Structure 1
């Protein structure tokens, strides 16, 4: 054992003595070496996912990759990647390294197909131009932040993912066998009943990998898989990735600055600096490469630290240009293990003819589950989450009960009293305010948190956007109905509204429609904006809705040039519908027990005063139905646009 920086590493790792630096040493663990199977965890992941069709390994070649991003309005553009080239060989664990801002994550985004705007160059799969739709069937992208369903247990997350990703012809026992194998080998089986939110950082990272392993992808991209983990967890995650790669997968990770022992676990390394390639080849060949370049790694210095220092320009900017030229910006393959045996593009095309690709295409296409299955699984997941989510379910119901009691107490017995018609009118508008603000703000606050999970799962082809959107609509509907019904019963009875089943059903229908429209409005805002911007924009856009509703300023008093606003305010139709339910249907004269004179004792007098017809109820229902349909459709289109815009 020798000392490398502050790390104690084995002599077979990456600490080199000067007399050895001129020799190209083979990798400490060649890719074709047998991987020992260990029952203890990810050290030796065995091939047990036998139910899933096996496919040929993937050799990735990328050429002249450029990426330009916009800096904002009138701020121009910035080029992140400068025509880099490279080769990602199968059965290898590959690290993309470089300092902050070097373009590591951007290159990973481009290679995975996650980023498509502002990208130039070409990516080849087994010698042929990449077809992105087919490529996404065989690959997955695990991003830096672990995007998991925290309310579900490890076992539930895995089973739901299996239901979404595995063929429906497999029964629950066959799917359970696949899940059991994966969790056992990843050291997560004993945490089967632990919620994802309670897992440690390393366990969450392993669960993220386990979820994608269900359909056995050939290519895996991981963005900073070791970030935020302790040294032991880092080693476990990287050893797991190494074992998976040696089974026949192509696994690419971005790594910022690994320790010497961690660096030694990678088979290949691709070094970036300011969007250009300084080196690509085996980890063992990095020190000889630097020695040949006249930039020898200091004795007992971690080569990973040294190449990052060079890439940062600590030894001069000219060294970056020199190494970029020496590596030919990624074209040089001479520092690979046995470079003379690397097949050319032509040889790969002969090895994998189009007939083979046709068979491979038919396999994944047959595995994809139907949209109806996706919707049913997502609905099941949605109800499981709703049952455990204190905000979306329990707190929502409690708020409706509390607010209902407060409003009922404030306007107690106002519904049948002729001298309190204006008070009852204020109550109806307050009910609309509650039905508008609570659902809208709840959706704005919670939906953006779902966006990150949606982006990951949709990109990795777990389900279609349509299935997801239908599921969230159907899952929320029973909760909305129950909450609105409880609130309506409390307010309606405490305020002594007319005890008529038809009137109550009309009252409840308008209330529920208002809730659905407000949710659709919040969904539309939450699909585009983050929480901060959404919480500002939601109330701001609600003010015109209240202004044109006919409360405070009656519809007849609106200026002609502003009257159009009453047609686009859903609160106008909600208020008109509630008034029609309470004071329409030829309601008889009201009691006048609390005053000598009741100006609005006759309901028609009040209806004439507020300029609302009692016979417009069904038109109000139709208008609110149109609002729900239009806003929900708009929210879906905006959500689809947002998913494409982030790429």
Structure 2
């Protein structure tokens, strides 16, 4: 471990200095630390940076420190929306906040949180499940803005939606948010994940060499050299370890050198050694000038002593706030002391839940209280003492007059545009999307499926002809099956894309990594590779086996019609998926609509009742099937020449009773229009669903 720390120090000494490489000592009060920063550190930092900028022709502003304060923060949600996504937390939250339901059907989650944190410090939010740790983290990080009361400031600038947008856009004030669940593309390696993040999030005026250098430095700082070429994996894919995955998630955020880093349960699922190494990494990041806030459930005693500040939460109320090292003396002053050797974190979690087994306590708190109310009495007593002693002290020291240097306040109110242009975002995202999905695109099973069905159909319709009415019906049936096969394949290949990638999209949109339009266009065009390749491969085999017209024009027109059906079906699948954004419901909706389109496609029922006729005009299967018939057959083509009645034209066949084979290819233009309309609607559905989630 010592060698690793020496390597990190050596790397930092050789890299261009930034605020992230300077050390800031934690302070008891913001006034002293601000004065120290503005007078001592900032001039030297800017001098060094200016020299490096001139040498490298790179004009990126360095990240500036964030001093975060929150005072009397409250948060409530409607009862139907209060459940957590974590099933354990959901159950615990319902139990913990059940008594807070009022006449307005709101549940109060946070009930007066006050605290402050600056560069060089780690603030730990600790408490039992359902106490409000993650909610507070999301509130101070700007992830929750509705139904929030209280005062939250960044460098003494009051937080609001406009400030959040500025913070997201302004490079000097990047906010990194590491969720409890590691949301990373499983098909990408650790290095690829960080490289694509760097190229999307770092400013366009950085050279490629500088971006690669930033990735290399991040990999070394987080100790990811050993697994850099290993896929993230997950599920049935061979993957990196839990600790490596968590460090990759952190690296994903610190690539942009954030001023504020928020982490939700970063040690969850890690063993003691991995958790300790992770906290050492966070300590190093904090010493580099970052402000770090993390939720943690039950850390080891060694990890507990790595925190600078601690906020202990019980049922949405704060029961302790201050230096972590002062927490045990504080509770001892209240006559709460462990009777056996005990982890400080375990001791405080027992107090936060009102459990005083093996803990000595002041007996007067149970006066006039029955035994069933003992845990509530402990919690109320701790809440009262916090209000009397700790909260006034914190407000007096750090929430008084504004004492942030003026240039830090002004900078946070300046808004910048996107760091990378639309076209650059598109090329980067297209490459990443293709890399993440290429295994699905060129899956052996899909290739075998296309090959197998093409051969099977080719053998069943081997050298088929249109000499008799029965043979015409057989070929028309083959045409409709081709239409069914590629319609269903492309719909179900596209309907699950957005529901599956919803978690990635929400995470990256909240970080403003790219425009939603860039994501949609790159996703559609990437998927179109598969929707063009497999039908082409399929038709190259089937067309000549089945005995269709052997002319170049007819072959390419038929292939064009099949590809048009596939691309339109892809757009429909994207629309269904974006409309519901649920894996289970998307499949059901797609199945129902596909069945409706197939029944009105013009093969099973040619003469649809007038009441239902409008349905066929909404069916792209109807237009696709008619287009295939028109490009393959001519109305003047003769058949039944060997029958007693003599030759007849194909237009007179009952199979083409509702299709005018001489009517031109208007269906092609209708399908093109439908493909475009489906995609426009899919984009707006996706935008609405993602904005609602944000």
Q: Within the alignment, does 1:581 sit opposite 2:646 as a pair? A: no
Report how far residue 523 of structure 1 moved. Answer: 1.9
Note the alpha carbon deviations across 1:573-612, whole angstroms, 9 max, x for none: 111111111224x45213778xx57999631023675412
Write the distance in 2 (CA, Å) between the matches of 1:598 and 1:106.
Answer: 82
Gaps of 5+ in 2: 18-57, 83-100, 234-238, 357-374
Instruction: Give the alignment partner of residue 133 of structure 1, picking from 165, 175, 178.
Output: 165
Note the alpha carbon deviations across 1:118-168, whole angstroms, 9 max, x for none: 444442111111211122242021111112222222222222222112223
Instruction: Give the alignment partner of residue 598 of structure 2, picking from 546, 549, 568.
Output: 546
Write the distance in 1 (CA, Å) between the matches of 2:582 and 2:476.
Answer: 36
Note the alpha carbon deviations across 1:267-298, whole angstroms, 9 max, x for none: 11112222222222111111122223333344
Mapping of 1:415-426 within 5 angstroms? 415-418=465-468, 419-426=470-477
1:144–1:225 CA contact under 8 A, matched in 2: yes
Q: Which residue of 1 aligns with 2:582?
A: 530
SS of the equivalent of 1:69 reads strand
SS of the equivalent of 1:510 reads helix
Instruction: Give the alignment partner of residue 296 of structure 1, picking from 337, 343, 352.
Output: 337
Q: Which residue of 1 aligns with 2:387?
A: 328
Report how far residue 187 of structure 1 moved. Answer: 0.9
Mapping of 1:235-246 within 5 angstroms? 235-246=276-287
Mapping of 1:498-509 within 5 angstroms? 498-509=549-560
Write the distance in 1 (CA, Å) between the matches of 2:449 and 2:388.
Answer: 61
2:76–2:110 CA contact under 8 A, matched in 1: yes
SS of the equivalent of 1:332 reads helix
Write the distance in 2 (CA, Å) between the matches of 1:308 and 1:381.
Answer: 43
Note the alpha carbon deviations across 1:228-284, whole angstroms, 9 max, x for none: 111111111111112111211111111111111111111111122222222221111
Q: Which residue of 1 aligns with 2:369?
A: none
Mapping of 1:386-405 within 5 angstroms? 386-387=437-438, 389-390=439-440, 393-405=443-455
Write the distance in 1 (CA, Å) between the matches of 2:350 and 2:433.
Answer: 48
1:144–1:227 CA contact under 8 A, matched in 2: yes
SS of the equivalent of 1:625 reads helix
SS of the equivalent of 1:327 reads helix
Q: 1:579 to 1:279 in 2, by over 3 A?
A: same
1:278–1:330 CA contact under 8 A, matched in 2: no
Write the distance in 2 (CA, Å) between the matches of 1:643 and 1:289.
Answer: 45
2:76–2:148 CA contact under 8 A, matched in 1: yes
Q: 1:305 to 1:617 in 2, by over 3 A?
A: farther
Note the alpha carbon deviations across 1:400-440, whole angstroms, 9 max, x for none: 22222222222223354433111222211211111111122
Q: Which residue of 1 aligns with 2:675?
A: 628
Instruction: Give the alignment partner of residue 616 of structure 2, picking from 553, 560, 566.
Output: 566
Q: 1:354 to 1:58 in 2, by over 3 A?
A: closer
Mapping of 1:55-74 within 5 angstroms? 55-72=63-80
Q: Within the alignment, does 1:347 sit opposite 2:397 as a pair? A: no
Q: Which residue of 2 aligns with 1:376?
A: 427
SS of the equivalent of 2:145 reads coil
Write the distance in 2 (CA, Å) between the matches of 1:330 and 1:578.
Answer: 81
TM superposition score normalised by structure 1? 0.85
SS of the equivalent of 2:153 reads strand
Q: Which residue of 2 aligns with 1:638?
A: 685
SS of the equivalent of 2:487 reads helix
Q: Within the alignment, does 1:266 sit opposite 2:313 as a pair? A: no
Report how far residue 88 of structure 1 moved. Answer: 2.7
2:69–2:399 CA contact under 8 A, matched in 1: no
1:607–1:614 CA contact under 8 A, matched in 2: no
1:281–1:333 CA contact under 8 A, matched in 2: no
Q: Which residue of 1 aligns with 2:197?
A: 161
TM superposition score normalised by structure 2? 0.80
Note the alpha carbon deviations across 1:317-357, whole angstroms, 9 max, x for none: 122223223323997164x7xx9764735222x54465444
Q: Which residue of 2 aligns with 1:89?
A: 118
Q: 1:331 to 1:563 in 2, by over 3 A?
A: farther
2:74–2:110 CA contact under 8 A, matched in 1: yes
Note the alpha carbon deviations across 1:164-194, whole angstroms, 9 max, x for none: 1222333322222222211112111233322
1:242–1:265 CA contact under 8 A, matched in 2: yes
User: More deviation in 54-63 or 229-238?
Assistant: 54-63
Write the distance in 2 (CA, Å) between the matches of 1:598 and 1:304.
Answer: 96
User: More deviation in 60-69 or 280-289?
Assistant: 60-69
Q: Which residue of 2 aligns with 1:410?
A: 460
Report how far residue 625 of structure 1 moved. Answer: 1.6
Q: Which residue of 2 aligns with 1:18?
A: none
- Following TM superposition, the consecutive aligned residue runs of length 4 or more in structure 1 with deviations greater than 6 angstroms are 40-45, 597-600
1:577–1:617 CA contact under 8 A, matched in 2: no
Q: Which residue of 1 aligns with 2:245?
A: 204
Gaps of 5+ in 1: 1-34
1:163–1:377 CA contact under 8 A, matched in 2: yes
Identify which of structures 1 and 2 has the higher relative contact order when contacts are C-alpha pairs closer than 8 Å and 6+ apart.
1
